[in-house]
Structures are given as C-alpha cells and as structure tokens.
Amino acid sequence: MTEENNTPQRRKLGEGVITIVDRLIDELAGPVRRTRQEAASTLAEMAREHADRLEPDVERVTEALVDALYRPEAQTRWEALGALREVATSHPELAAQAYEGAEASLFDENSSRVRIEAFRLLARLGASSPELSDKVWPLLDEAIQCFHGDLGYRDMLDSLLEFAEGNASDASKQALVERISFDVTGGRGYVKTCSAKIADAVEAGK
C-alpha cells in the first residue's frame, strides 16, 4: 500500500500551459522565504480583488494555501489565512480544510497578525453554516477569553458581528451573546458598541 501524498498538485512542463497561478502555487511551497511571502501576498490580493482568476483552480489554490499555514515565517501564514478567508466566502467547504492549521495559528505566540487572521477565517467559516459554526465556536470562544483587551480584539469583534449576522446555529449565536454580555453592559467605547450590535443582530435573527 502506498502512502497518500498530501502535497498540493502542480502542473509541470509538458502538462499544458503554466499560468501565473501555477507559478504562485509552486513558489508558495518553495525553499526561499521571501519568495513564499510574495507568492502568498499575491494570492491574497487576487482572492480579494480578482477571485474570478482563481476560480478555475480554486481547489488547487486552497490546498496550497492550507499547506502554507505550516511555513515558519509569519507573513506567509497571515497572507494565506487572509486568502483562505476570501475562498470561504464562496467555497466554505474547501476553506474548511484549513481548520487544523487555523487552530494552530489562532494561538500563535509570536504574531498577533496571524492570530487575528486565523480568527477572522474561523468566524467566516462559522457564519457559513450551522454545522461549521458548531465546529469553530469552541475555538472562537477560547480566543475571546484569551485575547479580550488586546489591540487586535476590535478586529475580532468585527468578525463576530459577521458570525452573528450569518448562518451560524442558534446555539452558537446564543453562546456568543452570553460570552460578550459583560461588554454589552459594562464595556467601553468601541468594544461596548460592537458587542451591543452583535447581541442585537442575534436577537433580530430569531
């Protein structure tokens, strides 16, 4: 029995026209840190601004981005997480392959940007379906408790509003309201305002 090969599939010379997407996928898995970072950044920009160019190869791109979550440098990881968040908008079932990598990134000890992008990806996945919301909510809940008060918590709140307004399960939404209830009544500034919006969004969706 042969071992399963989990390496993202790439076109090779002689197998057809090599596109910019093929090149970026190849560079994302390459040995040079700076090249990986630039490839991840370009893919993230394409996912945001020109998603139609990735669509024909979205499965291969997703596999490569998931693989990139295990690169040592922070920038490659946060760019990949951002790109996967865009993929999750139209293809949550594909982006869900990033669950384990996103979980590890969510508690990265060295990069707040990586943590924030992981949180945003998981929140968008959770907003896509009741099943995915129930899967990601325990991670989001833990992160809320760990990073409440951090500078990046505001960005996390914005993603939680998306979670509350989306297709998350009633149980996950109610758990979210309970988790942020203190900030609704006793918070300050933007944290209080956004927490109240989240609670209102859940109430409006009932």
- Burial class (CB within 10 angstroms; exposed 0-12, middle 13-18, buried 19+) of 29: middle
Distance of CA 141 to the CA centre of its chain: 16
What is residue 157's three-state secondary structure? helix
Position 1 scores a pLDDT of 41
The rounded distance, in Å, linking the Cα atoms of 80 and 86 is: 10
Instruction: Indicate the domain borders of the chain.
Output: 20-204
- Give residue 206's pLDDT: 76
Q: What is the pLDDT of residue 15?
A: 55
CATH architecture of 20-204: Alpha Horseshoe (1.25)
Q: Give yes or no for a contact between 176 and 134, defined as CB atoms under 8 angstroms apart.
A: no
Residue 151's pLDDT is 86
H-helix segments, 148-169: 153-165
Q: Going residue by residue through the chain (206 aa), what tens digit of pLDDT does each one get? A: 444 444 545 555 445 668 999 999 999 999 999 999 999 999 999 999 999 999 999 999 999 999 999 999 999 999 999 999 999 999 999 999 999 999 999 999 999 999 999 999 999 999 999 999 999 999 999 999 999 988 889 999 999 999 999 999 999 999 999 999 999 999 999 999 999 999 999 999 87
